[in-house]
Structure 1
Amino acid sequence: HPMSLRDKIRYIIHLLYDIPAYILVITFKLLNNPLNSLYSQITTYCYLGCLPTHADVETLNNIGIKYVVNMCAEYYGPRKTYAKYNIKQLRLPTIDCTLPSLQSIEKAIKFMNEAYINNEKIFVHCKAGMGRSATIVLCHLVANEKMSTDDAFKLIKEKRPEVTATIIDYECVK
């Protein structure tokens, strides 16, 4: 069937932005000069960061990560390596520079709550750990940790300064 205008625009963005940005992030990681740190610990159980490679999964496992929320539309994640370490991944494909849907936010909050109930640590990531994933962590802190939006944002910004300042203004956060 023919593509809608919205789908055509998304595809063009994917070709012109997502793929080159993904290649840039991976190249810098392979050169041991990542653009952003792999992770920042936000709370005892919650970590926020950028996309992990197969080589990063051992590091995540060593700090006790057993749940991962992957917000990347452009990256499936190192699924085989997660399986090797018994790490569960929830992938909620969200195009970079767009907001997660309310359905994705609800799924992520439920998954994160499951991690807490099981006393496990969780890692939430997108490409750089600044927008999509930070939005999910913000919503989680408000929903599951009963923090105010302002306090949750201040905590995230304190722990991971590179987080996009505008996430607090997103309608889906309120």
Structure 2
Amino acid sequence: MTSQKQKQRLAEIRALENILDGCKFDLSAVDEVWPNLYIGNVAIAQNRSALKRMGITHILNAAHAKQGSLGDESYYGTAFVYYGIPADDSGRFDISVHFRPATDFIHKALKKKNGKVLVHCIMGVSRSATLVLSYLMLRQHLTLRAAIQHVIQRRPVYPNRNFLGLLLELDTQLQRKRMVCPIL
């Protein structure tokens, strides 16, 4: 990437961070950010009785097999449909390879009668938020900016800069695709 493109990308990321900084909510264990789609932390994810009370049917763990995250298929048994992504919340991890599989999991779950999805990581701020934002972009046809603005009206989230850059790349791809083949 040229220096000019890098500067432009950094400016775009800073603009997104300014939007994220505008969230006025305090962080809670779980929040519904789209109908029947929740972002939460590991504490709520490990509370099976609370998940059942909420009506959660599907769990997407964006911190699968990471320290502090106990959840996996054996932990949840047949009470929930589980999908794990072993994502690192780092400046080097390519979470974009999980955008479409995570989106497909969420979409299929929400199409089911009474389907409710919890997407979580450790804090419920970066990895899980990134995957939910990608779902809103890919399946609900929101721009990245619109997706962020929608989510922060319900939960404080803060994807790391690497993840914001990968979401920006997805946003650019989707915008190009919409120009060629607009949604009817």
Scaled by the length of structure 1, the TM-score of the pair is 0.69
Whether contact under 8 Å (1:92, 1:104) holds in the other structure is yes
1:82 aligns with 2:80: no
Offset of 1:80 from its aligned partner?
4.2
| Counterpart in the other structure of 2:152 | 157
Offset of 1:170 from its aligned partner?
2.1
Whether contact under 8 Å (2:120, 2:128) holds in the other structure is yes
| Counterpart in the other structure of 1:146 | 141
Whether contact under 8 Å (1:52, 1:78) holds in the other structure is no
1:56 aligns with 2:50: no
Offset of 1:90 from its aligned partner?
0.3
Query: In the alignment, which of 88, 94, 110 is matched to residue 116 of structure 1?
Result: 110
Q: How does 1:1-174 map to 2 (within 5 A)?
A: 36-52=27-43, 56-72=47-63, 73-74=65-66, 75-77=69-71, 79-83=73-77, 86-98=79-91, 99-119=93-113, 120-164=115-159, 166=161, 169-172=164-167, 173-174=170-171
Partner deviation per Cα, 1:86-121 (whole Å, 9 max, x = no partner): 201100101123545333121101101111221301
User: SS in structure 2 opposite 1:47?
Assistant: strand
**Identity, % of aligned positions:** 22
Q: 1:107 to 1:54 in 2, by over 3 A?
A: closer
Q: 1:153 to 1:165 in 2, by over 3 A?
A: farther
Scaled by the length of structure 2, the TM-score of the pair is 0.66
User: Structure 2 CA distance, aligned partners of 1:167 and 1:39?
Assistant: 24
Residue type of the alignment partner of 1:138: L
User: Structure 2 CA distance, aligned partners of 1:165 and 1:102?
Assistant: 13
Gaps of 5+ in 1: 1-34
User: Structure 2 CA distance, aligned partners of 1:144 and 1:103?
Assistant: 16
Q: For the aligned residues, what is the CA RMSD?
A: 2.5
User: Structure 2 CA distance, aligned partners of 1:167 and 1:153?
Assistant: 16
Q: Which has the higher contact order (CA 8 A, sep 6+)?
A: 2
Gaps of 5+ in 2: 1-25, 172-184
| Counterpart in the other structure of 2:17 | none
Partner deviation per Cα, 1:25-65 (whole Å, 9 max, x = no partner): xxxxxxxxxx9522111011100011146761211111111
Whether contact under 8 Å (1:113, 1:144) holds in the other structure is yes
Question: What is the aligned residue count?
Answer: 139
User: Structure 2 CA distance, aligned partners of 1:79 and 1:52?
Assistant: 17
Offset of 1:140 from its aligned partner?
0.5
